[in-house]
Structure 1
Amino acid sequence: MDTELARTFLAVVTSGNFISAADRLHVSQSTVSMRIHSLEDQLGCMLFVRNKAGTALTSAGRQFQRHAATLVRTMEQARHDIGIPEGFSGTLVVGCRIGLWEEFLLQWLQLIGEARPEISIRAESGHEPELMQGLIEGRIDIGVMYTPQVRPGLKIEQLFEEHLILVSTDPEGKPEPRSGYVYVDWGPEFYARHNACFPNFGSPPLSVNIGWLGLQHVLENGGSGYFPRRIVMPHLKTRRLNQVSGAPEFSMPAYVVYPLEGDRDLFASAIEAMRQIVHSKPKRPPNAKRAETTARRCRGI
């Protein structure tokens, strides 16, 4: 169905008559009438009752109104998603966990912008289920996440190891969840390892599914929580946060996911820029391996 017919139908509904709809659409009244007749022929029913007062929706018209609105919105969204902005030769949609934008993909945005200035970038954030669905449907070109799912036609490549450490605003913080602890949902693997290391841990007073939110709460109100070392490093240097001595550290791989069929040249440039940032990062501190070993020993993991 031509979306212009659906748009004309909605204009008549909003305006209340064909004349006002024609003015709104900047076409003649006969054009509006012709479009509505064509739409009614395609649907096989009358959509409007015409009288001296204007037009009124029939029962079929009221049912079609919802579908017409969805059709127009879908087309507008598609035009927005796949349209190439003026001055660019292509677009790249990248979606990832919000925590991976911090101190990683924000740098990547600048690097890829310098390497491929002719490409327009659309940046999105979400959790693994939404990101994977976007990749499967083709709405997202490249996804960066912690726990991807294997799907036909998608390639998964590990970028780096994320290291979650327990930090606290208390310099004498204990190596286990205490009062003021914020539980951050870093995914099912973290949940299993966390439970293994802290079997007596009950329900936290505050749990969040976005690391940034948990970190801001700890900085503002005090407390502790597990966060990526790369993100809390500036706060460790200024002593706003302290790494809790003796607490287990958890390793969590970060992956890039992209379709096997696609713009290989563009994808290669984007992923190479990510690798450059990974390779430029400093090495792990000496006590990191020992802390991770402690985590593995928890409950035999």
Structure 2
Amino acid sequence: MDITSARTFLEVVKTGSFAAAAANLHVTQTAIGARIRVLEQELGRPLFVRNKLGTQLTAAGQKFHCFAISLVRLSEQAVRSIALPHEQEAVISIGTELSISDPLVPLWLVWMRRTYPQFALSVRVDTAERLIDQVQEGLLDAAILYGAPRKIGLIAELIFEEKLVLAEAKGSTQSAASHETVRIDWGEEFSDAFHAAFPAAPPSSVAVSYGPLALEYILAVGGRGYFRRGFIKPYLKDGLLTLVPNSPEFSYSAYVIHSARADENIIVHVREGLRASSAGMAD
């Protein structure tokens, strides 16, 4: 069975239409239809029903879905494994959100390289939604996310519990910027909790989706914002930041997610490395 056709099938399932799958795969819609027809001929059953509601799986398509994921996973693993130097056993591939990558992922890479040099390592930074898709499709062994997604077939394990704390630049000038709270995007759950805690807070004139960038801005011009406690720990120690007294703290826990069908021999090493690395963050 052609791996390209299996990937095409999964893309149609993910996007819900032949047109969207064609756009994502950079091919024509005709090519998508041809690949799906080949699959249907091989399997002897229609895989999709196309109507005004979009493209939906038939009963046969639903059964084939898990096999398509396995086919793609095995193909990816085979390509990676065959290309490895003879002294390495396998590739461990993980994904991470940008906001959680520093310092956890660098610590994990160093720990894994020192502890299990027989494994090649691959790290991909992407959005939570795309990482979840890649774990489900078998393109990643695991992904590190803030928040545990509730998806059938996925297992989420707590890695560490983090707190978001309100910190401000120490010794700020008396400019308007020095008293402003920079809005940092920590997700919908944090946004809801923040507005519940500060219902009268005025809109911020500065909004940043990446914590380290917001921190650079605050250190340069003054102001305050919510940051991961572990991330700003060195800045608090050096006196560059100070915690705002009596301000609420918000939970922001990190999870490793993997498929229920993932290779446990790989996941056990990922889990071990992440827990060791998170312990290193607390030191």
1:42-61 map, 5 Å? none
Sort the Cα spacing of 1:133 and 1:108 in 2 relative to 1 into closer, same or farther, 3 A. same
- Cross-structure match for 1:235: 235
- The offset of 1:277, in angstroms, is 2.7
Which region of structure 1 is more displaced relative to structure 2, 205-214 or 159-168? 205-214
Structure 2's unaligned 5+ residue stretches are: 4-25, 33-71
Sort the Cα spacing of 1:148 and 1:111 in 2 relative to 1 into closer, same or farther, 3 A. same
Q: 1:86 aligns with which of 84, 87, 93?
A: 84
* 1:57-108 CA-partner distances (Å, limit 9, x unpaired): xxxxxxxx9549x99xxx9xx8799533431322122111223221222111
* Higher relative contact order structure (alpha carbons within 8 Å, sequence separation ≥ 6): 2
CA distance in 1, matches of 2:195, 2:237: 30
- Cross-structure match for 1:18: none
CA distance in 2, matches of 1:182, 1:161: 23
**Paired AA for residue 86 in structure 1:** L
- Cross-structure match for 2:244: 244
Contact 2:163–2:251 (8 Å) recurs in 1: yes
Higher Cα Rg, which structure:
1
Determine whether 1:213 maps to 2:213.
yes
- RMSD of aligned residue pairs (Cα, Å): 3.1
- Cross-structure match for 1:183: 183
- Aligned residue pairs, count: 213
CA distance in 2, matches of 1:193, 1:237: 28
1:84-233 map, 5 Å? 84=81, 85-87=83-85, 88-171=88-171, 179-233=179-233
- The offset of 1:151, in angstroms, is 1.6
Sort the Cα spacing of 1:126 and 1:116 in 2 relative to 1 into closer, same or farther, 3 A. same
- Cross-structure match for 2:277: 277
- The offset of 1:199, in angstroms, is 0.3
- The offset of 1:2, in angstroms, is 9.2
Sort the Cα spacing of 1:131 and 1:79 in 2 relative to 1 into closer, same or farther, 3 A. closer
CA distance in 2, matches of 1:141, 1:189: 26
Sort the Cα spacing of 1:244 and 1:142 in 2 relative to 1 into closer, same or farther, 3 A. same
Sort the Cα spacing of 1:272 and 1:243 in 2 relative to 1 into closer, same or farther, 3 A. same
Which region of structure 1 is more displaced relative to structure 2, 180-189 or 85-94? 85-94
SS at 2:182 equivalent? strand
Q: Report percent identity of matched pairs.
A: 25
- The offset of 1:220, in angstroms, is 2.7
SS at 1:83 equivalent? helix
CA distance in 1, matches of 2:143, 2:113: 18
Which region of structure 1 is more displaced relative to structure 2, 200-209 or 232-241? 200-209
CA distance in 2, matches of 1:277, 1:2: 40
**Paired AA for residue 203 in structure 2:** S
CA distance in 1, matches of 2:195, 2:79: 43
CA distance in 1, matches of 2:157, 2:280: 18
* 1:124-148 CA-partner distances (Å, limit 9, x unpaired): 2223212212212222211111123
- The offset of 1:183, in angstroms, is 0.9
**Paired AA for residue 127 in structure 2:** H
CA distance in 1, matches of 2:214, 2:127: 16
CA distance in 1, matches of 2:182, 2:109: 30
